[in-house]
Amino acid sequence: DNALSKRVHPTSTASLSSEEVERARLHPYGKVGMDDAPRVDPHAPTKLVSNVGDGLKTMKRYLGEENLSVCRDSYNQLEESNAMRISGRIKMQLGDMDGACSDLTTALVVDAQLTGDTGGAALLRKRAELKLLLDDVSGSRGDIESALALERRNCNIDGEALALIMLASLKASPMVQDPRGASVLLKSAMQCYLRSHDVAGQATVQQKQAVIKKALGDLEGAHNDLQQSLSLFQESQLHRQAASVCEMLASIKLAMNNPQSALRDLQDALTLYEQTHDRAGQGRVLAERGRVRLVLKDDVAAKEDLTASAAIGHEIKDVEIEGKALLLLSQADLRLGQPDVSKKSLEHAFAVQR
C-alpha cells in the first residue's frame, strides 16, 4: 500500500538474474517497500554505506534511479528524526527543557512524514512528558489526547492504553487533583490490556490504581491492588517492577501500623533489586528499611542499613538517596550516644543536597 511499491513496475526485474533478485531482497533496504527502509540501523551510517556499495548497481536496476532516490530520502528523514530525539534527550539532561521540547517537536514533524500516525502518537506522548516538566499542564493534556485519538484511529490497543494511563497520571497529579477521574481512565486502560492479553500492562494499571486509592485513604483497597499487581509482575518475570510493588506494599503496611510486615516487603524488594543489579533500587530500599528500623528502635541495624544506603548513593552519584540516608543516619547516631558523629552526618547531608 505504500507509495514506493506503487511506483515500481512489475517488469522492472525482468532483466535480473535470480541471484541478483535475491541479493536485492537481502540488501539492508530489504524489499522494495517503504515500510522496510526504517529497519536500517540509524546509528551506523558508515556500515550502511559499506553495505550499499556492493549492491548499488543491482538496486539501481531493480528500483530505477528515481525510486532509489525515494529510499535515500526516507533514510535521511530517519537520521534527522533520530538526531532530534538524541538532541532532545541531551538537552533535557542539561536542564534545557524548552530546547528539548523544540527538538522533539521537530522529530514529531519528521516522523509524521515518515511513519505516519503510529510514530506520531509515540512522539506526542514523549512531548507531553516534557511539557509537564515545564508545568504546561494544558499543553501536555492536549498532546496526550491527540496521541489517544491517533492510537484509536489506528486500532492500536497497547498505544491507547499507554495514552489512557498518561492521562490518568495527569489527572491524579497535584497540579490537577482529580483522582476519581484518573480511576475511570485506568479502568478503560485495563480493558485495553485485557483485550490484548497483556499481563504486564494489567499489573501496571493495578499498581497505579493503588496509588490513587491510597491518596483517597482507601488503604485496604490499595493493598489488594498491589497484591494483584505483584502477582501479575511475578507471572511476567518482571523482577524490577515486582520490586517496585514490594516497596509500595511496605509503604502501605507502615500506614496501616504494621512495620514488621513492612520489613518483610522491603527485604523482598531488596532481594529482587540485587538480582537485577539495580543499585539505585538497593540504595532506596536500604534507606527505607533503616527508617523502619528506627521506628522499631532497632538503632544498630538501622545504622548499618543507612550507612550502606549512603555509600550506594555516593557511588552512583544519586544525591537524593545519599542525602536521605545521611539525614536518617544522624538520628541513629544521636540515639546511639554519638552526638559528634551525628553532627557530621547532618552536615554531610546538607552539603550533599546543596
Question: For 228-247, what is each residue's pLDDT tens digit?
Answer: 999 999 999 999 999 999 99
Of the ranges 44-58, 103-117, 290-304, which is most confident? 290-304
Confidence of residue 84 (pLDDT cuts 50, 70, 90): confident
Q: How far apart are CA 123 and CA 116, in angstroms?
A: 11
CA nearest to 108, candidates 118, 93, 123, 98: 123
Q: Which of 140-149, 196-205, 294-303, 322-331 has the lowest mean pLDDT?
A: 140-149
> Cβ(88)–Cβ(66) under 8 Å?
no
SS3 content of the chain, % helix, strand, coil (to 5): 85, 0, 15
Residues 6+ positions from 212 with CB-CB distance below 8 Å: 168, 172, 179, 182, 183, 186
Is the pLDDT assigned to residue 23 strictly greater than 70?
no
Is the pLDDT assigned to residue 270 strictly greater than 60?
yes
